[in-house]
Chain A
Amino acid sequence: MEVELTEILEALCQHAPFEEISDDPQLNDMAKEIEIQYLRAGSNVITPDSLNNTLYFIRSGAIENLSKEEKLIRRMNEGELFGYSSLLRGGKSSQFMRTIEDSLLYLIPARWFLKLYEENDTFSDFFELAREVRLRMAMDSQSSDVSLMTCPISSLLRRAPISIHKDENIRSAAQLMTEKHVSSLLITDNDELIGIITDRDLRTRAIAEGLSYDTPIADIMTSDPVIMDSQDYASEVVLKMMEKNVHHIPIIKNGQPIGVINTGDIVQKESHGSVYLISDIYRQNTIEGLQSISNKMTHTFTQLVVADANTQMIGNAMSHIGTAFVKRLLQLGEEKFGPAPIPYCFIALGSQAREEQTIKTDQDNALILSNKYNEEIHGAYFESLSDWVCQHLDKCGYTLCTGDIMASNTLWRQPLDVWKDNFSDWIQKPKAEALLRLSIFFDLRGVYGDKTLAKQLNQHIRNQAKQHPSFLTFMARNANQRKPPLGFFRQFVLDGEGKQSRTFNLKERGIAPIIDIVRVHALACGSDKLNTFERLEDIDAAGLLPDGRAKDLALALEMIAMVRIRHQKDQIEAGEVPNNHVNPEHLSSFEKRHLRDAFNIVERQQEFIKFRYAGKRS
């Protein structure tokens, strides 16, 4: 009579990787060779330097994985496997596996593990030793089924561009647009693209101004329009439209325009309308108007998440929106208090500067004033303007900074030279405690006003940082302050010290540590980028990290940030206030597994910078 160990097979097939290969008929044969063992809490299953010939499946109970020095590495519970690392190294084990609860273990002979590992890619992928590879594949497979966010621009083009020579007049341009049913025309000279004209240009620049219909089109066109390459991603068009606040972008292939993308093409594909949101912001003349737009932001955010945008795109979009609020408020402020008496630059700090904002964010900003600044003459103006802008940003959902790092604080409203001295001081005489608080200033972007002021300051920071390696030592040490969790155990988050907690702060324990690590490397290689992903490209190019490690960090950040963004989206949809506190109970096993891998990368990279920038002993 055929023996079927259904109970055993079913238990195995409820968990990865057996779940994914449950249709493999060999599994039944494998189940017949399984042995079962009951162990009380505190029993060693595997010890270092012993020979292991078994893949263990935890049917019930829990196991602790300890290093040779008995340092906690991870905890595992029902449905998890262990013993495979030693099997992949010929059976020699280097760690402890110990029961921490009474446990029932299924013992699968090594021969079966090695056979499936060899024959079945799905199975072997699960055990892939290089966790980075696993993470990479997870991210790749997640993004394979997406929309606008990953398709090339060319897939959005519906027709060849309609163009007109620059010497034609407004009337013939309007006639051509009507005839061809287009909302824009490319303006050419000797077959070369020199400008663009849109419906709106005809309305605002010609009709409203009362221009003659015989006026040459060149007089009202936008010269040197924003263009993009057909190889770029459609999502980048969205960001470009938001950044430049334009609604039509000619697409170029091999130097020739092959079409025009307008907001309509984008909106047809997706409905979040972040492009419209930005032009809406610029149209508002009252604080109430801006406030009502800020209420729509959560919708824009969730739509982006639903559209499978990656975290870089979402961070970009949210930051552009944030910047639009700042710009518009400063424009309104200048209308209220009059034009600025001297040049100044309003700078964004932290996540907004890195273009990595999410939905729930407070404001971090400052003001760089021209060196012509004279407290007595100009002080009152900039105080009023800054106070007004910061207060109104607060009303628009960008809450006041609890650390008071805002332009409204006189400390952070200084002439360029004072700023330079500040930074020289912080960099030349670093103090760990102070730097911890100040790290936010090292992500600094000019958003409004005379942006050359911000450029000069950033240049100064880069020069100083390069000349003072001890500063990097401090930054590297600070980047080691916030340790990622070890992983998860049942519904808990597990710390290196074995402490278990219900929730954890994904920003503090996952995202911030990566940003800190990357900032140190970026300062070391003199990168002028602010965005963490872009910084990583520079760091990789500078060869500061071993091959592939920059990519690993980017993947880890993407993984962690994506979990955070999804978590916030879920909170919004549940009518809660979005935050960074994640409860492992709400994570899928996919997310838990890959978060653990990501944390692992972060931890190793933290170790790496400690030694990389160790410097002299202080």
Chain B
Amino acid sequence: MSSSNQQPETPSNDIQDWQSMFAEWAKDAPEGPLREYYRAGMVAPTTPLKDTPLLALDLETTGLDSKNDEIISLGLIPLSLERIRCQGARYWMAKPERSLHAESVTIHEITHAELSEAPALKDILDEILVALTKQVVVVHCVAIERQFLLEASLKVYGFPFYFPVLDTMDIERQAQYRPWWKRFGKAPSLRLDACRQRYKLPRYKAHHALTDALSSAELLQAQAAYHLDPTANISDYWI
């Protein structure tokens, strides 16, 4: 279903219409899970934020370079502005094709042994796509997640995987924005933990994909309570 009075084929620069874009990609994507994902569609840009199905996501990777590094775990947790639902939480580990850097092992607390028994990413990507179907993804710092999933999709399906995102880092940047003449001292930190502290959210151990997904889900609820309009269109916020 498209939003009524708008021209469906070319979404304007102002309003991100993921629904129309999904319809386009559904035509071009190769037959298979990715096409199914696009074909299922996306909520209309006029959907109020409070009614939008949201899914917090976090990836852990072997490094920061999406060309050379790989996804080793992925956590998902569904939420609305009212509730985070542990019941729908999902978690996957993926065995990297190249060996794991020693230093990232210490960051993630995932052991070589655990990973050596995990399936390869290509074998779980289908499942992940099903889980993400018709959901707007919540992440902290969109670049990493989008880049890594794009690379994975190109590699596995030969076609790009794009998805709408509420970026809690971006929301925080705007919430903390001060014009230059009002800026004072150091710019506020936008790290996940620093943002959470601003809303008096508890400290969590970082670098577990599911915990970090939960962290950004809680942060989004807090940001919504302070800065977002639950009745505004999702298109005001998604990127």
Contacts and interface: CB of A to CB of B under 8 A. Distances in A.
A269 to B, nearest CB: 49
Contacts of A38: 199, 201, 218, 221-222, 225
Nearest to A35: B83
A59 B221 contact: no
Given A101-B200, A104-B201, A36 B210 contact: no
A336 to B, nearest CB: 70
Interface string A1-39: 111111110010000000000000000000111111111
A61 B200 contact: yes
B87 A33 contact: yes
A36 B84 contact: yes
Contact of A6 (B83, B200, B211, B217): B211
B202 to A, nearest CB: 5
A37 B83 contact: yes
Contacts of A2: 91
A192 B39 CA distance: 105
A66 to B, nearest CB: 22
Interface in B190-208: 199-202, 204-205, 208
Contacts of A406: none
Given A36-B83, A39-B225, A59 B202 contact: yes
Interface in A99-148: 101-102, 104, 107
Contact of A34 (B86, B93, B217): B86
Interface in A161-216: none
B156 interface: no
Contacts of B120: none
By secondary structure, the B interface counts as mixed
B108 interface: no
B59 to A, nearest CB: 14
Interface string A519-551: 000000000000000000000000000000000
Given A6-B208, A7-B214, A31 B86 contact: yes
B91 A104 contact: no
B213 to A, nearest CB: 11
Contacts of B222: 38, 102
Contacts of B84: 35-37
B155 to A, nearest CB: 21
B82 interface: yes
B226 A40 contact: yes
Contacts of A60: 200-202
A104 B83 contact: no
Contacts of A31: 86
A11 B202 contact: yes
Range, interface on chain B: 20 to 34
A76 to B, nearest CB: 16
A102 B87 CA distance: 24
A39 B221 CA distance: 8
Given A33-B86, A35-B84, A3 B218 contact: no
User: Which of B86, B90, B214, B226 has the most A CB atoms < 10 Å from its CB?
Assistant: B86
A102 B200 contact: yes
Contacts of B162: none
A8 B217 CA distance: 14
Nearest to A78: B202
B58 to A, nearest CB: 13
Contacts of A61: 200
A8 B84 CA distance: 12
Interface string B49-91: 0000000000000000000000000000000001111110111
User: Which of A40, A101, A104, A107 has the most B CB atoms < 10 Å from its CB?
Assistant: A104
B92 interface: yes
A40 B208 CA distance: 27
Interface string B86-129: 11011111000000000000000000000000000000000000
Nearest to A31: B86
B161 to A, nearest CB: 21
Contacts of A102: 199-200, 222, 225
Contacts of B217: 36
Given A3-B91, A11-B202, A36 B218 contact: yes
A4 B208 CA distance: 11
Contacts of B208: 6-7
Contacts of B83: 35-37, 107
8 contacts: A3-B89, A3-B210, A4-B210, A8-B214, A31-B86, A33-B87, A39-B225, A60-B200
Of all A-B residue pairs in the complex, the 4 with the closest CB atoms, nearest first, are A36-B84, A38-B221, A35-B83, A60-B202
Interface of B: 82-87, 89-93, 199-202, 204-205, 208, 210-211, 214, 217-218, 221-222, 225-226
Given A1-B90, A36-B218, 11 more contacts: A1-B91, A4-B91, A4-B210, A31-B86, A35-B86, A35-B87, A36-B84, A37-B82, A38-B218, A60-B202, A102-B225
